[in-house]
Amino acid sequence: MTAETARAALIEMVESSCGEDEPITYALPQLKTKKAEKAEKDEGGNGNVIRFGSWIVDLEHRTFVLFIFSGLMFLDYCGEFRPTESGGWEAEVTEIRETYVD
């Protein structure tokens, strides 16, 4: 999996399965426009953990997380990439964690 195949899978996931009023859609512009950068979480320094703005992608483990502040809470969208029958990749959110701010 490459940074660009991960980006394409994430864009497809958000555009095809989310309504316009869902918080995850607010981070779609950065996914489309931000350059892939090495993430601070890449402890091994091998370039397998990248970020597109608030999206963090672990290419080796085929996982992603998106951190969003929405109103009175932080939302963490966690998910994974899975191979498709056609040889591509699809992204799927597997967990949404909410943390309320006092």
Rg (CA), the chain: 13
- On whether the CB atoms of residues 58 and 49 are closer than 8 A, the answer is yes
Question: Rounded to whole angstroms, what are the CA distances from 25 to 60, 76, 86?
Answer: 25, 13, 26
Specify the pLDDT at position 21: 65
pTM for the structure as a whole: 0.85
Structural domain spans, the chain: 3-100
Specify the pLDDT at position 12: 94
Specify the pLDDT at position 20: 63
Quote the CA–CA distance of 4 and 10 in Å, as a whole number. 10
pLDDT (tens digit per residue) in 2-29: 999 999 999 999 998 766 667 788 888 9
Please report, to the nearest 10 degrees, the dihedral formed by the alpha carbons of residues 20, 24, 13, 41 taken in order: 160
Specify the pLDDT at position 42: 52
Specify the pLDDT at position 6: 96
pLDDT (tens digit per residue) in 49-98: 999 988 999 999 999 999 998 778 899 999 999 999 999 999 999 999 99
Specify the pLDDT at position 88: 93
